[in-house]
Amino acid sequence: MPHRDALWRVFRANFPDLTWPPAVADQLPTLVPLRRLASGRSLFVQGQRPAAFYAVVSGEVENRFTGVDGRVSVIALVGSPRLFGLAAFAAGRPSEYEAVAKGPVEVLVIGRAAYELLMDAVPGFARALLAEFALRFDLTLGQLQAARHQSAPDRFSAALTQLAQQRGRPSADGWLEVRATQTELAQLAHVSRQTANDLLADAEAAGRVKRGRGRWWLRPAPG
């Protein structure tokens, strides 16, 4: 996909209600480069002040936190067209997490010049970005609540739903096919791999999940 097309697909998906002035539409693609990363490469590391924030064009980025005990916790799996790295960049503070490519990844790099153009020249962009910050804050509180107060099955169910939303592809029989390993599920739910295996088996026995090699299928909740 050409760079310009990818940029506008991502920006319009994140900010669907904005009107883009012609001067901005012409200038923005020159200020927002497309960056490709190989699997396992980091965009920024924990404790680093990012020089930009990012939007995923293709692939998936794993945001993960390493505690003082060396344990790694997955905060989120970020796919297209989501933004990430917003808080640390806007505040000029070190990032609380590391962003790592899971497989080949393409991201848009939204640096200072592009950020200032968007804030100053696009009507409503600042309000839209503030709404995005508010949503992220609410999601962070939800994650904190889940980590501290929810049971392992509840956290696991939330992880199943999150992966289905991010990676799910409808199959002919009406189920959602999701390519994810038990290790990924365990990390996202903050449980051991054995617990993830046991909970996945329980979900399969209950008819909510079907398992395959490196993938599983989730029965969508009734509408």
| Architecture, CATH, for domain 151-218 | Orthogonal Bundle (1.10)
Domain with CATH 1.10.10.10 in the chain: 151-218
Nearest 10 degrees: Cα torsion 79, 214, 64, 36? -50
Cα separation of the two ends of the chain: 34
Q: Are 38 and 103 in contact (CB under 8 A)?
A: no
pTM tops 0.85, yes or no: no
For domain 3-148, the CATH superfamily is Jelly Rolls (2.60.120.10)
Low-confidence residues in the chain, pLDDT < 70:
1, 135-150, 221-223
Q: What is the pLDDT of residue 1?
A: 47
Q: What percent of the chain has pLDDT over 90?
A: 37
| CATH 2.60.120.10 domain position(s) in the chain | 3-148
Q: If we measure between CA atoms, which residue out of 57, 117, 58, 63 comes closest to residue 86? A: 63
Task: Report the pLDDT value the prediction gives residue 144, as an integer from 0 to 100.
Answer: 53
Give the separation between CA 76 and CA 187, rounded to whole angstroms: 10
- Check: CB of residue 154 under 8 Å from CB of residue 146: yes
Task: State the burial class of residue 89 (Cβ atoms within 10 Å of its Cβ: 0-12, 13-18, 19+).
Answer: buried
